[in-house]
Amino acid sequence: MRSSGRDFEIIRTKGPGDALDIVRNLSLAENDVTVAAGGDGTCNELANALIARPAPAIPILGVLPVGRGNDFSSTAGIPGDLEKALHILLDGQPRPLDVGFVKGGFFPDGRYFVNGLGIGFDTKVVFTAAKMKIQNSLSYILGAAVNFARFEPSPVIRIRYGEDEMTLPATIVSLMNGRRMGGIFFMGANALLDDGLLDICFMRHPPTRLKLFKLILHYIKGTQAGCDGIYTSRAARFYLEAIEGGMAAHCDGETVCYDGKNLEVSCIPGALRIIGA
């Protein structure tokens, strides 16, 4: 960064929520780039802080992916190699970035997300991985193995969007702005960051343990849309209601609820700009 002649400042966060407080008080010019050096959780905090700031121009987000899963940055075309990511930050041009917004659970007033929201199996995987000392995608693989062995029953939820309404077990329900979760699982294999829509992918019927295992292998390749019982679509707004039991949900790895009853999820087109490939 110094050899490029760019002005920059490194600010270290001390814990969860710290980035929100720091960015609120930053003095930013119209074309300044605020960079998240971390994983999806850091990107999530930074996005929420930037959107909350009163600003005459759409804020610009940059990413140096040095976190656990780095799922959001992969969709944005930012490589995991730090030097290559720095070159993209220096040479890339800002482009529009849609942002998701969820209301409910711990966030009755709403929480923004840049990558995706998960309910069911993948949420349990995220919660399990977060408790592990391993700080890479292996923690998600181990988390998947643990929850596959448990094979807990799923709550029944109602999903409404557009003119469609479906009631189903929330085994795996993904609402994606980006394409990947958990380091290796392509929950929204064809999702776009700038189409003004969120991609939804879910199972219509409760799977057997064997079928769930086979489907997980398809999620790793992003080919689940062609499997029997898998449904995919796109929309700008979704309403989710727990009919039996409660929803465990996360967005960008941040806990939304453990036993939620109602969630409203929407896409905000072009809420941010991102420096990506």
The CATH number for 77's domain is 3.40.50.10330
Is 216 found in the same domain as 167? yes
Is 143 found in the same domain as 58? no
Residue 175 DSSP class: E
Q: What is the pLDDT of residue 242?
A: 96
Is 93 found in the same domain as 157? no
Domain boundary residue among 64, 98, 132? 98
Domain boundary residue among 30, 65, 98? 98
Q: What is the pLDDT of residue 147?
A: 66
Q: Tell me how far the alpha carbon of residue 251 is from its chain's centroid.
A: 5
Residue 5 falls within a domain, yes or no?
A: no
Instruction: Please enumerate in sequence order all residues whose Cβ is within 8 A of that of 182, keeping only pairs 6 or more positions apart, or say none.
Output: 69, 71, 122, 125, 126, 129, 137, 140, 143, 144
Is 86 found in the same domain as 33? yes
Is 105 found in the same domain as 66? no
Domain boundary residue among 70, 98, 126? 98
Q: What is the pLDDT of residue 160?
A: 97
Calpha distance 161→73 (Å, rounded): 28
The CATH number covering residue 112 comes to 2.60.200.40
46-69 confidence digits (pLDDT tens):
999 999 888 778 999 999 999 877
Instruction: Please enumerate in sequence order all residues whose Cβ is within 8 A of that of 270, keeping only pairs 6 or more positions apart, or say none.
Output: 58, 96, 97, 98, 194, 196
Residue 79 falls within a domain, yes or no?
A: yes
Is 188 found in the same domain as 141? yes
Is 138 found in the same domain as 63? no
Q: What is the pLDDT of residue 151?
A: 66
In order along its 277 residues, the chain shows pLDDT tens digits of 889 888 999 999 998 888 888 888 888 888 899 999 999 999 999 999 999 888 778 999 999 999 877 999 999 999 999 999 999 999 999 999 999 999 999 999 999 999 999 998 777 777 777 677 666 667 777 777 776 676 677 889 999 999 999 999 988 899 999 999 888 889 999 999 999 999 999 988 877 888 888 888 999 999 999 898 899 999 999 999 999 999 999 999 889 998 999 999 999 999 999 998 7
Q: What is the pLDDT of residue 37?
A: 94
Is 120 found in the same domain as 255? yes
Pairing of strands 230-235, 198-203: antiparallel
Integer Rg of the chain from CA:
18
Q: What is the pLDDT of residue 29?
A: 86
Is 137 found in the same domain as 72? no
Is 186 found in the same domain as 235? yes
**H-helix or E-strand spanning residue 9:** none
Is 180 found in the same domain as 67? no
Q: Tell me how far the alpha carbon of residue 153 is from its chain's centroid.
A: 24
Total domains in the fold of the chain:
2
Q: What is the pLDDT of residue 135?
A: 62
Q: Is 193 in contact with 202 (CB distance < 8 Å)?
A: no
Residue 93 falls within a domain, yes or no?
A: yes
Residue 232 falls within a domain, yes or no?
A: yes
Residue 16 DSSP class: T
The span from the first CA to the last CA of the chain, in angstroms, equals 18
- The mean pLDDT value of the chain amounts to 89
Q: What is the pLDDT of residue 133?
A: 66
Nearest residue to 152 via CA among 127, 176, 174, 130: 127
Residue 9 falls within a domain, yes or no?
A: no
Q: CB-based burial of residue 19 (10 Å sphere; 0-12 exposed, 13-18 middle, 19+ buried)?
A: buried
Strand order in the sheet with 230-235: 230-235, 198-203, 172-176, 116-120, 247-251, 254-260
Domain that holds residue 198: 101-270
Question: CA angle 253-37-40, nearest 5°?
Answer: 15
Is 149 found in the same domain as 237? yes
Q: What is the pLDDT of residue 51?
A: 93
Q: What is the pLDDT of residue 137?
A: 63
Query: Tokens representing 2?
Result: 């110094």
